Chains A and B, each alone.
Chain A
Amino acid sequence: MKKIFSLMTGATLAAVATLVAGNAAAAGLLNVSYDVSRSFYKELNPAFVAQWKQQTGQTITIDQSHGGSSKQARAVIDGLDADVVTMNNPLDIDAIADAGLLPKNWAQQYPDDSSPSWSPIVFVVRKGNPSNIHDWPDLVRSGIQIVVPNPKTSGNGRYSYLAAWQYARTRPGASDTDSIEFEKKLFANVPVLDVGGRDATTTFVQRGIGNVLLTFESEAKLILANFGADQYEVVNPSITVRADNPVALIDKVAAKKGNTDLAKAYLKFHYTPAAQEILIRNGLRPSDPAVVQKHVAEFPPLHTFTVAKDFGGWPHAQKLHFSDGGIFDQIISRASK
């Protein structure tokens, strides 16, 4: 018995020692990012580390944290030591700005509204397009099952919803009332509202539910790469939304860690041709039109709109459509009846 106790005490002491040592170790740059950007940063970070080494002689490390965009923003507000955040939604960075960790005009600090990349919402259908889905009107045909994540909880869902709205009201002679009718019919065709974009992918791909999946082009390209281009194909609708992936420096944290210059250089690096090529390889559309032009076969030109211009910005759209009791709630309660 005594032996066991001394063994346990020894293990505890060793563990505490490791902990103390680990806590004292120098912290690298921490990039808190959204769920599915992992493969992109796995390529981008080493490229930046190499460039930084060449320029300054310093060897640095970049740590990554990935998770649902809003959850990640929450963690940063609660004290996760992020030097930079790289999100798929400006709202989440606004939330961090509201907590006072970075200036409210963060979107003006880097080119293209601080968004080095973007992705449109596209349709993924099963190979050969057996349900004959080519554009938005096809989604509201009876008998079509749509897989789309819940707009209340996911960026994917919000963008898909707004894209449908924009399509419906830009038809000749149409107005916002027609959009409500269109959304009603569309969500009546949704058998299951998943929480996040990845869950929706799993529903469509692994559980085999639905005729069409609404998701970001970058996710669509991942599906084709991971589950076989011989099983799925991408359909580009006549009009779709431009979903920006904004980046921001968390001034207070970076300053405290003495990482401000490094973090700024890291964010600027996102706009270099080398980084923009890495974006392309990961299915994202770079903000530099010249780079997109070089890959026009993979990224055909699309007719896009932005939330900032056509929906009065994210805070406004969020409040009007996705707040409790907002238009989406009304549509869903009627669609389910």
Chain B
Amino acid sequence: MTTPATPQTDTGGAIADTPFAPLVQTNAAIGEPRLVRWLLIGLTLLFLGVFLLLPLLAVFTQALASGVGAYFSAMVDPDALSSIRLTLLTAAIAVPLNTVFGVAAAWAITKFKFRGKGLLITLIDLPFSVSPVIAGLVFILIFGSRGWLGPWASEHGLKIIFAAPGIILATVFVTFPFVARELIPLMQAQGTDEEHAALTLGARGWSTFWHVTLPNIRWGLLYGVLLCNARAMGEFGAVSVVSGHVRGQTNTMPLQVEILYNDYQFAAAFAVASLLALLAFVTLGLKSFLEWRHGSELAAVRGH
């Protein structure tokens, strides 16, 4: 069939007397041989299957290995319920906090010039580069009974580490960069022209932010919030250090999975793991939905 998209034949006629012969060969290379194409696609699918799909499948088959009844009874076990509650509580506090701080940090960094900006950017990245175990230990050093603020806290009857507040603090620390890191490239790309325009038209700082900046970044922001949420619910290392592992009280879902697994309760461990995976699916589903609806706006975010 002769379709318009046949550059080989178009340029092929001119090949003898054109000085740009190598270009033709490049064009021909755009259409990879079928075998290579299939091989590449096949390899990619195989890779995805082995490293992503198979583990997920394993989680769900193991979870249901002892039957549906066992699966649901593992879910309503008081310890499991408490871990679900604590995980949701942690995310409900850590994510909004980091949303506010992330927006504030990104706004300051991209819309203003000030000294120490480089330092601020480095600080925002710190939780990414520090091992989660260290992140947890930092809070023990601060709030532990022999730490800086520990004795003061215990005098005032405040329980921080080995209780929910410590878990939330550690989670806030670990998930801090997600929102800011999503927003900074997006806001840098957008520049400050619109804000300037708003200011010259007499808008104040707050209304400029609320009516100009925020609408521009909303999808990038939601994307960052979703990533932040996924990590907040899944964080293991830092939380494990400050948790104290009191059953039914200070175990989050990832910790509960580990405990059940170590107690030989494999089906129950995978049941909780599958719920955690489902929560991740919901997050990913929301993310895909956003990409599908607002692909072009998100392109800038994903460019980094």
Contacts and interface: CB of A to CB of B under 8 A. Distances in A.
* A and B associate: yes
A99 B249 CA distance: 26
B165 interface: yes
Interface residues of B, number: 38
Interface string B256-267: 000100111000
B246 A64 contact: yes
Contact of A39 (B97, B154, B168, B263): B263
Interface string B151-186: 000100011011111001000000000000000000
A39 B259 CA distance: 12
B96 A8 contact: yes
A101 B204 CA distance: 58
B248 interface: yes
Interface stretch (A15-23, A126-134, A307-315): A15-23
Nearest to B249: A63
Contact of B145 (A8, A16, A77): A77
B297 to A, nearest CB: 14
Contacts of A15: 89, 92-93
> Most chain-A Cβ atoms within 10 A of its Cβ — which of B95, B97, B158, B163?
B163
Interface in A180-219: 198
Interface string B205-217: 0000000001100
A12 B246 contact: no
A65 B146 contact: no
Contact of A63 (B92, B161, B248): B248
Contact of A75 (B93, B95, B164, B244): B244
Nearest to B264: A226
Interface in A210-241: 222, 226
Given A12-B92, A19-B89, A78 B144 contact: yes
Interface in B1-44: none
**Chain A at the B interface: SS class:** helix
B246 A11 contact: no
Nearest to B88: A15
Interface in A1-16: 1, 4, 8-9, 11-12, 14-16
B96 A222 contact: no
Interface in A95-146: 99
B217 to A, nearest CB: 10
Contacts, number: 80
A248 interface: no
A16 B94 CA distance: 11
A80 B96 contact: no
B231 interface: no
B92 to A, nearest CB: 4
Contacts of A38: 263
Interface size grouping (class) on chain A: 20 to 34
A69 B129 CA distance: 30
A9 B96 contact: yes
A88 to B, nearest CB: 15
Contact of A12 (B97, B159, B163, B264): B97
B150 interface: yes
B215 A11 contact: no
Nearest to A72: B245
Contact of A22 (B144, B145, B164, B259): B164
A261 B165 CA distance: 29
A46 interface: no
B273 interface: no
Contacts of B92: 11-12, 14-15
Nearest to A252: B145
Nearest to A2: B210
Interface string B231-252: 0000000000000111111100
Given A1-B215, A22-B164, A198-B262, A64 B146 contact: no
Nearest to A4: B222
B250 to A, nearest CB: 8
B127 to A, nearest CB: 20
Contacts of A9: 96
Contacts of B143: 79
A66 B259 contact: yes
Interface in B123-163: 140, 143-147, 150, 154, 158-159, 161-163
B218 interface: yes
Contact of B246 (A4, A23, A65, A79): A65
B245 A79 contact: no
B245 A66 contact: yes
A105 to B, nearest CB: 22
Interface in B69-104: 89, 92-93, 95-97, 99
Given A198-B262, A226-B264, A78 B248 contact: no
A94 interface: no
9 closest cross-chain pairs (CB), A and B: A79-B145, A78-B144, A15-B92, A80-B162, A80-B244, A12-B96, A65-B246, A8-B96, A65-B245
24 contacts: A4-B222, A8-B99, A12-B93, A12-B97, A15-B89, A16-B93, A18-B89, A19-B168, A63-B248, A63-B249, A65-B246, A67-B245, A75-B162, A77-B146, A78-B144, A78-B147, A78-B161, A78-B162, A79-B150, A79-B161, A79-B162, A80-B162, A81-B162, A222-B264
